A and B are shown apart, each in its own frame.
Chain A
């Protein structure tokens, strides 16, 4: 009896948290999986970078970036300098004028609203410390 009650409580707690997550996600209209990269961008005087997962996953499997190219799978964990991008690292491994358009198209990457904090956007439901 108590066991069943405890389980129900666990279930209700889970449902409540999911509900809260889903509801407070409502005002954020960004596309699911968009990542804002803004460790340095605004300090460097440019808009934050918006990385769209949906767009890239139509063209590449996750492993291309997160294994082959070595992007760490945690928002903000990649310390990117613009010089690196131009030298063909990080985004520059593809955005080099060969695989995809090159680093001179500043506006396409640096397209975020000023003041947007770094991190995953778009009504994400799991948040907080990615502890692993």
Chain B
């Protein structure tokens, strides 16, 4: 019966969240839009990869927004050119994709209005607000999908169904309303920091105290759930393991080699042994980066040949096109590295074979 309690809790949390909207100007719909965006869209739209219009780049977005938000929804859902359908994440629901589009649009708007605000307040702000209102009314017009947001869907038994559908549009209006909310939203990507925090030595690098947080504080577990308190905090497990600089901050290869962990090779038989193949493949890299050495040994300790061959890599030296851009998009080595295995920031672990000096000198010609 816990799940039932849980779901009514959802309802309460959702109601609470909506109530808090007024106080913090962080509407639930926007928070969801941002969450979806960060996860599925930011990889291209943050930096403008493969020609994607950048988040908050009013100039790039203005002509697109002019086509109307429904047209943007259609492209986001169906794809166009370099823009894959649903950002390539086919699990996202229509509502989630649309919330990400709303977020993108709101960011373009916010920057546009702040830019305009510094110019003489001529006719410009008016159309901006008018389009903003149009944006806000779109989700309202499509009330059913808007109310299909997970939070409200998760409360079927909750009677106040009548209030639920009206709430999201209300908050989405609030989100675009000019005035104090817009001001708060003008610092969209980061929370404002005050006082002593503002000049902290590390502004963006997460301090050690904020790594490997216990489940209740990690932002994805629900602290109101009893089970969350029973889960193991990562640091308790990692204390005995060799450390590394990224990812879980555990050197999993070393942990295994030193038998600090003994992960089973078979679901039930603790004695089964891994079939390890020791074969290094050197991939020459053009330019000054050291060559990549791909080691079969460390991989076959963990993985089966069929995890990689033939779906990800054709088992033939040099037969696979691999590039860093592809890896960052989650292809080839990026299927695991940067998600579960050590992340891409650890250049040296892959680019481990220094070039003979003659070769590095040659391209200078």
Total contacting residues, chain A, CB less than 8 A:
83
In the assembled complex, the CB of A41 is this many whole angstroms from the nearest CB of chain B, namely 9
- B residues in contact with A39, CB < 8 Å: 91
**Contact status B266-A64, CB under 8 Å:** yes
- B residues in contact with A102, CB < 8 Å: none
Contacts known (A108-B230, A115-B149); A61 close to B331, Cβ less than 8 A: no
**Contact status A117-B237, CB under 8 Å:** no
- B residues in contact with A20, CB < 8 Å: 46-47
Option from B32, B49, B220, B289 in Cβ contact (under 8 Å) with A30 = B220
Within 8 Å of chain A (Cβ to Cβ): is B133? Answer: no
**Contact status B363-A4, CB under 8 Å:** yes
Residue of A nearest to B365 (CB): A1
- B residues in contact with A58, CB < 8 Å: 237, 261, 263
Residue of B nearest to A125 (CB): B338
**Contact status B247-A33, CB under 8 Å:** yes
**Contact status A7-B28, CB under 8 Å:** no
Option from A3, A111, A123 in Cβ contact (under 8 Å) with B231 = A111
Docked CA distance A11–B205 (Å): 22
**Contact status A46-B220, CB under 8 Å:** no
**Contact status A115-B32, CB under 8 Å:** yes
Within 8 Å of chain A (Cβ to Cβ): is B195? Answer: no
- In the complex, how many residue pairs between chain A and chain B have their CB atoms under 8 Å apart? 288
Within 8 Å of chain B (Cβ to Cβ): is A91? Answer: no
**Contact status B218-A64, CB under 8 Å:** no
Docked CA distance A50–B218 (Å): 12
**Contact status B248-A130, CB under 8 Å:** no
Residue of B nearest to A16 (CB): B47
A10-52 contacts to B, CB under 8 A, are 10-11, 13-14, 16-18, 20-24, 26-34, 36, 38-39, 42-43, 45-47, 50, 52
**Contact status A115-B307, CB under 8 Å:** no
- A residues in contact with B123, CB < 8 Å: none
- A residues in contact with B96, CB < 8 Å: 117
In the assembled complex, the CB of A43 is this many whole angstroms from the nearest CB of chain B, namely 6
Query: Per-position contact with A for B1-24: 1 when CB-CB < 8 Å, else 0?
Result: 011101100100110000000000
**Sampled A-B contacts (5; CB under 8 Å):** A14-B324, A18-B345, A52-B231, A113-B220, A128-B43
17 more A-B contacts (CB under 8 A) besides A29-B213, A118-B92? A21-B43, A45-B4, A46-B6, A47-B6, A57-B252, A57-B340, A62-B302, A63-B304, A64-B267, A66-B304, A68-B304, A69-B267, A113-B222, A114-B151, A114-B222, A124-B343, A128-B87
Which A residues are within 8 Å of any B CB, using their own CB? 3-4, 7-8, 10-11, 13-14, 16-18, 20-24, 26-34, 36, 38-39, 42-43, 45-47, 50, 52-55, 57-64, 66-69, 73, 75-76, 93-94, 99, 105-121, 123-132
Q: Which 8 A-B pairs have the closest CB atoms?
A: A129-B88, A107-B227, A126-B338, A7-B287, A76-B91, A126-B334, A125-B338, A67-B304
